[in-house]
A and B are shown apart, each in its own frame.
Chain A
Amino acid sequence: MIPEVGHFALILALLVALVQGSFPIIGAARGNAVWMGLARPAARAQFLLIAVAFLCLAYAFATMDYSVTYVATNSNSKLPLQYRIAAVWGGHEGSLLLWAMILSIWTVAVSFFSKHLPDAMRARILGVMGLISIGFLLFMLTVSNPFERLIPAAMDGRDLNPLLQDPGMVFHPPMLYMGYVGFSVAFAFAIAALLGGELDAAWARWSRPWTTMAWVFLTAGIMAGSNWAYYELGWGGWWFWDAVENASFMPWLVGTALIHSLAVTEKRGSFKAWTVLLAICAFSLSLLGTFLVRSGVLTSVHAFATDPRRGLFILAFLVVVIGGSLALFAWRAPTIARGGKFDVVSRESFLLANNVLLAVAAISVLFGTLYPLFLDALGLGKISVGPPYFDTVFAPLMAPALFLMGIGPIASWKQAALPELAKRLRWAFGVSVTTAVILPLLLGHWTPMIGLGLFLALWIIGTTVNLVRQRLGGTEQPLVVRIKSTSRSWWGMVIAHLGIAVFTLGVTIVKGFESEIAVRMQTGDVAHLAGYDFTFEGVTEAEGPNYTTSRGQIRITKSGKERTVLAPEKRVYTVQNMPMTEAGISPGIIHDLYASLGEPLDDGAWSVRIYHKPMVEWIWFGCLMMAFGGLLALSDKRYRLKKRTAKQVQ
């Protein structure tokens, strides 16, 4: 009964979405206030209906209703409750429902926090979001219904993929989807502006917080996924250039370009067409990511075996959304007023250069991800492009971007003097170059990549310190007053930029100085790595809720002094008889010590992999700093003040 309620709620939601996607947009074109007024109640009704459907599915999982096909394939009576709930988005159908759910959350948020927008604009934005929702609801109701019944009901479920039975499953997909889908708001703003023909600084100011919010979620979501892969897969890697990771990274690159170009559009009125194009691309890449992940064209932990009709549907949807919006862009963008002028040396041009570099980086990822798929689809052979391609391309594209990142915030708008910039930044430059040369030599290992990475990280820190000193110095006021009088969005930028530096530092050090060994170990054997002694103290058998586990014990000592004990596990999930590696990690600011069990060999020995990962945690801490910077910028009071003035103007 409950699954039917959920199914029915989805059908009603589709009907409401049809209203939301048509009347408000037509009403805005004709100036019909009643039709425009339908947007907000429709958005809220749709949210309630999809929430009901979502709760119904969660209820079916919680009560182990194996007469529902989706529940029977993704859950099991032995699965602990928290994973039964997370299993709602553990498969294809449910993750689409999560997509639709999150889209309706963003839509209802826009319906509440858009009182300051002109009526026609608000109607168009909510209308465009309704159109996107139609696509996803239709997709679910035609070829991916999560509520489909299984007759006769299964005795028990086939279980959630053991790789997904992890706390990461509770956070990573919803966070990532909040980011992906959040770009639909920026997209809707862009389409609304193209439809209405109004694209001004106010538009950019309204669109900015939404875009930043989506970017914050996407950053945190990618970070959570990377961290999860690091401890779950047992290879000590944190990024694999897997096609699905790329699918989330492309919208991030374009989204990062977008938040910067929006800043220029708001402050200087320039880059208007470019900003709109980026907004369209960011969301298109999010849709493409969904297509790549959910259509089964990729081999990956994220991909589900599927039927070809689904792939076809998403492809058609993709063509309509991307083709339609780009056609609209080509038609309307030239009529949008041109932006302000700026000199070759100015903050605008530094930001433009960074935007182009980010866009080119996104294109290079897109190319490396899609080209093998095209070849395969055309029957021209199977190829794969691995991490070496992405590593080769990324360093030369990101190095200039990071270098310019140090100069951009210091250069003045419109026109900046190169000699003056050079004078201000010479200390930062000198210090970072010197350290980048000397520090690796002191550590006993110098390569061009280590030197470059260190230089860029220190350069960003140096220039940011310079920026902060200039902002806070030079007046008579006490420091506290000066800190308070500086806007939160400015501090947000400083922290996010420092986050990039911390991230770069982590990547450079871990890539340059990490070490690993794979050894055969018997109880009592000692392995040596990075000055530490790893003593294997044997394996004990234990039982988990739905798995049996062989838990190893590895005692780590340095010069005879005990440091820590690692407990790597080899689990076998009983339902699917699937083995899983759980790494044993001792994390730290300076380094992680990491061990994972390979397989049992004869006479009680195990193959064991041991890793020494210096400063690897800095990678994720840097990402958190970026996300926090974004949040700080969002809390800036000027968004609230501007809202009120905008309302008074109306």
Chain B
Amino acid sequence: MAVKARHKRFILIAVGLVLLGLAAMLILNAFKSNMVFFYTPTQVVNGEAPKGTGFRVGGLVLAGSLKRLDDGLTVRFEITDTAKTIPVIYKGILPDLFKEGKGVVAQGKVDADGLFAASEVLAKHDENYMPPEAAEALKRAKEQGSASLELSK
């Protein structure tokens, strides 16, 4: 009887460990396939960003670049890190604090025409706050010394 009880306990622990292992696999797998990397406009222009999978890009909305297409809902604008700019297309309603010359982060993919098709556009939550990704992009461009004053068109 004692042996049997110990046996039972062992099976229980083994089953528990297998299940926990499965859970860990599930978590890591889900994590790997849903991780979104961040790139600066310079990196995207240099071809460092992945093709076909989604990523995030951040910087400033180039002043004078915001255009609304005829359907009234699709917008095109350019994101700059002051060194390079990339064109973005987005269909939907922009966040309240989206403004030319201000920080922005967009998530999406590069489409066949070389446009960054954004599925999501994030702006900041208050007037004086810069999204960290956008700040990072500007900082990196500055460090590389390639920043020109390409802030408006």
Contact = CB atoms under 8 A, between A and B. Distances in A.
Interface of A: 161, 163, 299-301, 305, 344, 356, 360, 363-364, 367-368, 371, 381-386, 388-389, 392-393, 396-397, 518-520, 576-581, 598-599, 601, 605, 607, 609
Nearest to B27: A364
17 contacts: A161-B126, A360-B23, A360-B27, A382-B132, A382-B136, A384-B35, A384-B56, A386-B36, A392-B33, A392-B34, A393-B27, A397-B23, A520-B71, A576-B127, A599-B93, A599-B94, A609-B93
A382 B133 contact: yes
B72 A367 contact: no
Contacts of A371: 31
B73 A519 contact: yes
A389 B32 CA distance: 9
B136 A383 contact: no
Contacts of B8: 344
Contacts of B71: 520
Contacts of A364: 23, 27
B-side binding surface: helix, strand, loop or mixed? mixed
Contact of A381 (B12, B37, B92, B94): B37
Interface of B: 8, 12, 16, 20, 23, 26-27, 30-31, 33-38, 56, 68, 71-73, 91-94, 96-97, 107, 124-129, 131-133, 136
Contacts of B129: 305
B125 A518 contact: no
B127 A386 contact: no
A580 B27 CA distance: 37
A299 B132 contact: yes
Given A383-B36, A384-B107, 19 more contacts: A163-B126, A299-B125, A300-B125, A360-B20, A363-B27, A364-B23, A367-B27, A367-B31, A381-B37, A382-B56, A382-B132, A384-B35, A385-B31, A386-B34, A389-B34, A389-B35, A518-B91, A578-B127, A599-B93
A598 B94 contact: yes
A381 B39 CA distance: 9
Contact of B72 (A163, A368, A386, A520): A520
A122 to B, nearest CB: 38
Contacts of B35: 383-385, 389
A201 B124 CA distance: 51
A518 B93 CA distance: 7
B12 A344 contact: yes
A305, A356, A384, A518 pick with most chain B CB within 10 angstroms: A384
Contact of B26 (A163, A388, A393): A393
A581 B96 contact: yes
Nearest to B31: A389
A88 to B, nearest CB: 19
Contacts of B94: 598-599
B96 A580 contact: yes
A607 B69 CA distance: 13
A356 B31 CA distance: 20
A165 to B, nearest CB: 12
A486 B71 CA distance: 63
Interface pairs A-B: 6 shortest CB-CB: A520-B72, A598-B93, A382-B38, A389-B34, A392-B30, A388-B34
Contacts of A360: 20, 23, 27
A607 B37 contact: no
Contacts of A601: 68, 72
B16 to A, nearest CB: 8
A581 B96 CA distance: 7
Contacts of A163: 125-126
A378 to B, nearest CB: 14
A299 B96 CA distance: 16
A503 to B, nearest CB: 22
Contact of A385 (B26, B34, B73, B125): B34
B133 to A, nearest CB: 6
Contacts of A299: 124-125, 131-132
A176 B69 CA distance: 44
Nearest to B126: A161
A579 B26 CA distance: 41
B72 A389 contact: no
A579 B96 contact: yes
A605 B73 CA distance: 11
Nearest to A400: B19
A113 B56 CA distance: 53
Nearest to B38: A382
Contacts of A161: 125-126
Contacts of B131: 299
A434 B9 CA distance: 36
B37 A301 contact: no
A381 B50 CA distance: 14
A141 to B, nearest CB: 27
Contacts of A384: 35-36, 38, 56, 107
A187 to B, nearest CB: 26
B20 A385 contact: no
A335 B126 CA distance: 53
B93 A393 contact: no
A577 B37 contact: no
Given A393-B26, A393-B30, A519-B73, A383 B97 contact: no
B52 to A, nearest CB: 17
A204 to B, nearest CB: 24
Contacts of B91: 518
A578 B97 contact: yes
A437 B59 CA distance: 48
A599 B98 CA distance: 11
Contacts of B36: 383-386
